Amino acid sequence: MTVRAAQRQVVTERLAGHLLASGLSRTSVRQLAAAAGISDRMLLYYFRDKAEALGEAMGHVAAQLGGRLEAALPAGRRMPPERLLAEAARIATEPEVRPFMALWMEVIAAAARGEAPYAGIASEVTT
């Protein structure tokens, strides 16, 4: 991994943490750069634009949530649908998972309103 790729990964992780803590309300390029501890020019060095930075951060958030879900509901573990729904509801309301769910609801709502770049981000995350 190159130095640039490693630093980009660090920035992505910081942006993901920022999104989980602040939601979408503080996502200007300057606010994202400040949250990552870099200048706005450096943010645009690591990412083509704000949409790519948000997309990468949301991908990281989705991977974190996916890991939590995999740990709670291991692949190959079969259960009746009503039990699966109950377990998914329990997981979704855990205090540690609430920020993920709140952020996801914000992204889906922004995508439904046609706000760029959230429709693309929602599509990528669900894929």
pLDDT band at 102 (very low <50, low <70, confident <90, very high): very high
Q: How far apart are CA 101 and CA 5, in angstroms?
A: 28
Q: Give the model's pLDDT for residue 84.
A: 86
Superfamily name with CATH number, domain 3-126: Tetracycline Repressor, domain 2 (1.10.357.10)
E strand or H helix that includes residue 54 = helix 50-72
The mean pLDDT of 77-93, rounded to a whole number, is: 89
Q: Give the model's pLDDT for residue 56.
A: 96
